[in-house]
Amino acid sequence: MRKLIIFLIVLIVLLVAVDRVAVAGVQRDIATRIAASSDLAGTPTVTIEGIPFLTQAIAGRYPEVRFDLGTLTYNTVKVDNLRGAAYDVTAPLADVVQNRAQITAGRVRVQGTLSRSTVDKFAPRGVKIGGSGDRLTASGEVNLGVTKVKFDAEMRVEVVDGGIKLTADKVNGIPSNSAGFLTYTIPFKGKLPFDVKVTGVKAVPAGLEITAEASDVPLRG
């Protein structure tokens, strides 16, 4: 009985070791594919969620694969801490071993942050973007007739075709109907990873957090 117990313990340890070696190999392969699919200069960090891994590998399906792309720039718009997950990844083990391209994700969701300095970079001349906590603000001076007047306003953000639009709200110091110059758009004309489309944006202490999604995404070799 004692020998059987020792054998089972050794077998479990070996299976766990094989499981971890296998997951490391597939994570490297998927990381390479993500880099190729997204035209990345470096290799992202990839983590396959769920254990035991071997049951997922044999089935060729991974419910969730998380990745970290770091900081990237699209059409002069710098996105910090770009990370996300691929869901319902179909990766037949033979395709992974032979480096074939038949690997797809049912859905990909990414998030990243536009820093306060990036948001400020696209603001109209003379307008300074700041804020506190999850609130973005604009401030500056404007000429009303022959008088230079200071103003401040809260900024409302929304996703529009072609980018993220910021609109002045709760304007102080100047008439609301004179605040149209505060409205501007941060363009997203460049190709984001996996051809994702920006679907959401919200103000956060660091700036603006964006969310983007895509469906039926190929992870090419």
pLDDT tens digit at each of 221 positions of the chain: 544 344 333 333 333 444 444 555 566 667 666 666 555 656 777 777 665 556 666 667 778 888 888 888 877 888 898 888 889 888 776 666 566 656 788 999 999 999 988 999 999 888 898 887 778 888 888 777 777 888 888 889 999 987 899 998 888 887 777 778 888 899 876 667 778 888 999 999 889 999 999 899 887 65
List the beta bridge partners of residue 155: 168
pLDDT given for residue 9 in this prediction: 39
pLDDT given for residue 84 in this prediction: 87
Picking from 29, 42, 19, 72, the residue whose alpha carbon sits closest to that of residue 196 is 72
pTM as predicted: 0.76
pLDDT given for residue 62 in this prediction: 79
pLDDT given for residue 180 in this prediction: 80
pLDDT given for residue 53 in this prediction: 56
pLDDT given for residue 19 in this prediction: 47
d(CA 196, CA 135): 26
Query: In this structure, what are the phi and psi dihedrals at residue 73, rounded to the nearest 5 degrees?
Result: -120, 130
